[in-house]
Structure 1
Amino acid sequence: MISVKCENCKTQMNYDENNGMFTCPECLSQILVTDLSHPQLGNKINSVFDSDKACNNIAETNGTYHSENSNIPSNRYIVPCTLSKDIAISNYNRWALGGLFSPSKYNASHKKDKLILNFIPCIVYSLFGQGEIEATCTKRFEKVNSKKRDVITDYYLVGHKIEDSYEELLSYELCGYPISEIMGKIGAYTFDNAIPLNDTNIDNATDYNAFIANYRTDNRSQNQVTDATVIMPSNLHDITNDRDTLDKITQKVRTAVENNTLKSLNNLTANYDSTYTENTQLNTAITDIRYILVPVWSFENDNTPSNNSFFMNGQTGAIYGKCPVSIFKLSAATLLIGFILFGVLMAILILMGIIV
């Protein structure tokens, strides 16, 4: 609690931490906390609560602010599929428990020959965010001696700055289903081994395999996707910058920067009694835009994503979906296990002579 008396009527003033305003309940005069005259703001004091960035010592800003460039080129890349079709089938069999409990119709539509490799067109936005906040904080001390008890409020000017980089991946709709829902589950691609497409035209499995076969770089494994149908987007080189999308992403990053900055400030001032934010500066920029094709294994009949769909990240093996369970098969298995357990129990009882 900050203790300030009104200069006009000497009445204890009320303090609003939301706007940093003192208000006298008697004469209704007001004064901002930043307008108070207190010697602490005139001298730099070593604070025990925040060693380097408190007490009239705003943190120095390092680096430069980035400004958005509206003419950023759209670089084109393809992420090779590092998981072969055999591995994809093996992962599917583990996911579906070999089809033991899944419906027969589902198993028939999810055979090996129906597994295809999709290359999903995505845009990866690299974004930069910077935030800086200045605030006035207070700390209340008590001094007690044999004669009197004094309450002292110290004021501190606290500064904090952060810089963050973000990557946001957006995907187009492909083959009639909203692939963005799937990408949110199996995303987390890494682009270290992404291959520049340049003007190379890749439209089918043959072109893709030939392209990968000619790809030779140390510390990068080669990959041949054989016996697979490869689906490429028809608008491989049709890249446009959607300003509405860019604005939405920029606002998302700006909000993240603001939240992170405020969180850091709250941690910075946790040991103070009150905090009044005086100044907030936020800046965001899109530093790079890349058009990237990412590999996704799926079955050709899974045109609508659901919990029973199978979609697998062709780079990490992450899987989207949950294999359906046949109630009939599950009930039959439960009854069979019950009969087996009953038979074992009866055999034990007979051997023990309990049942003659």
Structure 2
Amino acid sequence: MVISYKCPGCGDDMVFDSESGMLVCHSCGRQDNIENIPEELRRARFSEDEAKEYHCQNCGAVLITEKETAATSCSFCGGAAVIADRLSGNLAPAKVIPFTISREEAAEAFKKWCRKGLLTPKGFMSADRIKSITGMYVPFWMYDLNSNVQVSARCTKSHTYTRGDYIYTETKYYDAFRDINLDYIKIPVDASEKMNDELMDKLEPYPYDQLKDFKTAYLAGYIAEKYNYDDEELFPRAKSRISGYIESFIDSTLSGYSSVNVKTKHIDTQKVKSFYVLLPVWMVNYNYKQKDYIFAMNGQTGKVVGKPPISSFKEILWFNGLALSIFAVWKIVAAVIGGGA
């Protein structure tokens, strides 16, 4: 089933507005509270093969979508639609963080980010080659995890002192055992096959206190994807995401020793809870010298991630400047040492 939100006043599409948090009609200015959407805003019908196509209710065009697409816009008239059968049952997200950065704000923030590039080419920094900017809700699984950690180690503490003409080193040996219980909540893992995992990881953190109960109206005017991987498939990645934190905590409990030789280590991480969420991302397609560069922006915080091109000329200047700075510091240090001698 395809759901669209039509304005009762003029019949145009209503979209979710990131600034007001309301469903807004840009034609007549009507606004409706997303928490209490009138029934007359819902216009739904069934197509023969909804898994592959839907008919735009605004202009009647037949549109083909990929099987993962849950919300999209008509390529002919720009009308927004939510494909409800892909957001129901096991496919229904539990929570969503709505967009708070508008398309215009996202474009301006991206331009400012480009201008800060120390090693990017001057032409790239002008930021006037935005090919497209798309608001997308990306599927994530969130995990609450519990880790039970047991570690045994042989540790030493050494003390060196002088007595008479002799230097002594006294070493004490300790058998250390740690039984640790750790809880981690809301560990996010990107569940879309299309999205680059490294790019999505770098967009964090999101303000998870802004998670809201999912309502389809939040998707109006944006693209949304459903997950490709379920929570069981992504559980190993969730465990790997916290592995570094676990190791750091273990190290902190064994600090203060001269040496630590870990004899045994057992880490048992279990899933306490998992739930499916949609997180807001602005995807920016930027064209520079006939080559496309993809960047992502956190739709809540404005954080931008991606790899811009590097200017070879600026790179050489930077390294030469760094080398000259090091040489100058070395000369000062050498002069101080020589003067002291």
The two structures have a TM-score, normalised by structure 2, of 0.48
Task: Determine which structure has greater relative contact order: mean sequence separation of CA pairs < 8 Å that are 6+ residues apart, divided by chain length.
Answer: 1
Structure holding more strand per residue: 2
